[in-house]
Amino acid sequence: MSYDKPLPVISEYNRPFWEYAHKHELRLQRCLSCHRAWFPFGPVCPHCFSESFEWDRMSGRGKVASWVVFHKVYHPGFAKDAPYNVTLVELEEGPRLISAIVGIPNDQIRMNMPLEVVFDDVTDEVTLPKFKPANAAR
């Protein structure tokens, strides 16, 4: 499978995230002490500094916290997609992820729009979580 856009750099801290995404599961680290989920990934809970956590399955539901629509092509892999959105999604569980909204024109994106995760298998190894308006057809 050929993919011309940048791919994530997989590290010891984020490897489980990408492995679960490949299985079409959205999972984030959740502290076993204070029970809060977090993103970005790291070796300790950013809320209570506990080193004890698990990779907890998220609902996949969230809302638009912010977004931008890029009209300029900063990477040649995005040339066919311009203009394209980059969206800050606030998950029901609290953490915010940077992703993209798919399935609607950019001018229909709105603050607090309800979203749900979908998965884009961009290579045989990498699956990207993206979001679509909740209750929209896939």
CA distance linking residue 102 with residue 113, whole number of Å = 13
Residue 10 lies in a domain: no
> So what's the pLDDT on residue 135?
81
Instruction: Answer whether 69's CB lies under 8 Å from 101's CB.
Output: no
Give the tens place of pLDDT for each residue, 88-118. 999 999 999 999 999 999 999 999 999 999 9
Residue 4 lies in a domain: no
Q: In the structure encoding, which two tokens stand for residue 43, read together?
A: 């070796």
Residue 7 lies in a domain: no
Give the tens place of pLDDT for each residue, 9-42. 999 989 999 999 999 999 999 999 999 999 999 9
H helices of 7-131, in order, are 15-22
| Range of the structural domain that residue 44 is part of | 15-133
> So what's the pLDDT on residue 2?
83
Residue 46 lies in a domain: yes
Look at residue 136 and tell me whether its pLDDT is greater than 80: no
Look at residue 137 and tell me whether its pLDDT is greater than 60: no
Q: Is 117 left (phi over 0), alpha (psi -120 to 50) or beta?
A: beta
Q: Is 35 left (phi over 0), alpha (psi -120 to 50) or beta?
A: left
User: SS3 for 52?
Assistant: coil
Give the tens place of pLDDT for each residue, 40-82. 999 999 999 999 999 999 999 999 999 999 999 999 999 999 9
Residue 1 lies in a domain: no
H helices of the chain, in order, are 15-22
Residue 26 lies in a domain: yes
Look at residue 138 and tell me whether its pLDDT is greater than 80: no
Give the count of domains, the chain.
1
> So what's the pLDDT on residue 1?
59
Residue 86 lies in a domain: yes
- Tell me the CB-side half-sphere exposure of residue 59, using CA atoms within 13 A: 14
Residue 94 lies in a domain: yes
> So what's the pLDDT on residue 29?
98
Q: Who's near 86: CB < 8 A, 6+ residues apart?
A: 67, 68, 70, 98, 99, 100
